[in-house]
């Protein structure tokens, strides 16, 4: 068959992987084999996701597929919103992060009437379950964990590590789920996640942030050498709140390099070089110090506004 010069076949690999695992890779092999019949090269795209292709194992799977089908590595490329794109085997291109699918407009900030914390979780992971368990030790919090314990087999879950390493904690958490302190249930199935991404359009967030002085963010990527910003990080900045992040090592350093204010002069961010459970422990140590001595938001209003305007600019110009 005569291949068309420069022809590229795009394959959506979000069907075959999540942030920390892969699935149905035999079907991916069939799709790659079929694509290579009439294309000069193959682009494996994560869409708007920034999954760590090394951590979730999909890079290794594709390498084995390429070896079996005798496809040169240079004929296969990955694409994702992971800004650091860490593959050592294939070309891994950065894709524009369009997680902010609407152009935001600035809103007025008001200081929190209460200086509690927020922790808003949907999908369960090892770090998120550990963070949720830690948060239960603090009374001044608004928490959600909209996870249906019947929706997935525990032994195949993305949090099987937490189940094995912290089984007693898991048993206590499991009895509470799904959990919400917000007085309402976020319907992920019907909203299709829009309440999280299109946060400016949902009035509930204004009321929630009125009671929050600090948000604990649990990002999608938590592994080293990745940097993937989602609505989880941009939402508290848009509403003029400070934050602590359970994310990849140097995540907040990278935010700072982008121009965001991480308030590391007034909040202990020494956890930023850590990952996993150790990072969660560090985050909650910083949270405890904040709750013991909350910060006067009127003093940092200009800095908070700076973050909001940068988020707004990013939504208009797709800077992320």
Same domain, 179 and 90: no
Q: Within a domain: residue 108?
A: no
Q: Return the pLDDT at 168.
A: 97
The pLDDT, as a whole number, for residue 184 is: 63
Q: For the chain, which ranges sit under pLDDT 50?
A: 1-4, 192-193
Tell whether 84 is covered by a domain.
yes
Q: Are residues 90 and 123 in the same domain?
A: no
Strands (E), the chain: 8-12, 41-45, 76-80, 91-94, 116-121, 141-145, 179-180, 212-218, 242-246
Residues 166, 296 share a domain: yes
**Spatial contact of 206 and 241, defined as CB atoms under 8 Å apart:** no
Does a structural domain hold residue 1? Answer: no
pLDDT at residue number 190: 56
**Does residue 107 fall inside a structural domain?**
no
Regarding whether 141 and 62 lie in a shared domain, the answer is no
**pLDDT, position 195:** 54
Q: Dump pLDDT digits (tens) for 229-286.
A: 988 999 999 999 999 999 999 999 999 999 999 999 999 999 999 999 999 999 999 9
Same domain, yes or no: 88 and 184: no
pLDDT for 157:
87
Q: Is residue 106 part of a domain?
A: no
Dist CA 136 CA 88 (whole Å) = 40
Q: Does 182 lie in the same domain as 142?
A: yes
Query: What is the residue range of 137's domain?
Result: 116-317
206-210 contacts, C-beta under 8 A, 24 or more apart = 206/239, 208/118, 208/142, 208/182, 209/112, 209/118, 209/236, 209/239, 209/240, 209/241, 210/110, 210/112, 210/113, 210/114
Collapsing DSSP to helix, strand or coil, 167 comes out as: helix
Residues 20 and 121 in one domain: no
Could you tell me if residue 165 is inside a domain? yes
Are residues 90 and 121 located together in one domain of the fold? no
Query: Do 171 and 228 share a domain, yes or no?
Result: yes
Number of structural domains in the chain: 2
Are residues 228 and 221 in contact, defined by beta-carbon separation less than 8 angstroms? yes
């Amino acid at each position: 068959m005569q291949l068309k010069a420069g022809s590229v076949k795009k394959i959506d690999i979000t069907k075959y992987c999540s942030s920390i695992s892969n699935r149905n890779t035999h079907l991916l092999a069939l799709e790659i084999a079929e694509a290579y019949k009439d294309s000069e090269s193959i682009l494996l795209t994560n869409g708007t996701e920034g999954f760590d292709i090394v951590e979730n194992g999909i890079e290794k799977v594709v390498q084995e597929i390429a070896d079996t089908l005798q496809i040169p590595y240079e004929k296969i490329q990955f694409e994702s919103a992971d800004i650091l794109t860490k593959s050592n085997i294939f070309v891994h291109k950065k894709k524009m992060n369009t997680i902010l699918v609407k152009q935001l407009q600035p809103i007025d900030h008001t200081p929190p009437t209460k200086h509690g914390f927020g922790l808003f979780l949907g999908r369960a992971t090892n770090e998120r379950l550990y963070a949720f368990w830690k948060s239960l030790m603090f009374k001044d919090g608004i928490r959600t964990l909209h996870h249906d314990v019947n929706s997935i087999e525990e032994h195949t879950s993305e949090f099987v590590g937490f189940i094995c390493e912290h089984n007693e904690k898991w048993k206590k958490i499991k009895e509470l789920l799904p959990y919400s302190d917000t007085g309402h249930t976020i319907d992920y199935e019907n909203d299709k996640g829009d309440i999280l991404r299109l946060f400016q359009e949902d009035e509930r967030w204004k009321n929630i942030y009125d009671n929050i002085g600090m948000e604990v963010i649990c990002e999608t990527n938590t592994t080293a050498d990745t940097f993937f910003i989602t609505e989880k990080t941009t939402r508290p900045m848009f509403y003029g709140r400070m934050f602590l992040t359970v994310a990849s090592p140097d995540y907040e350093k990278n935010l700072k390099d982008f121009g965001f204010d991480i308030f590391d002069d007034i909040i202990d961010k020494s956890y930023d070089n850590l990952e996993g459970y150790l990072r969660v422990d560090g985050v909650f140590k910083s949270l405890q110090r904040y709750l013991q001595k909350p910060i006067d938001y009127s003093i940092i209003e200009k800095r908070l506004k700076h973050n909001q305007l940068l988020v707004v600019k990013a939504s208009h110009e797709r800077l992320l």
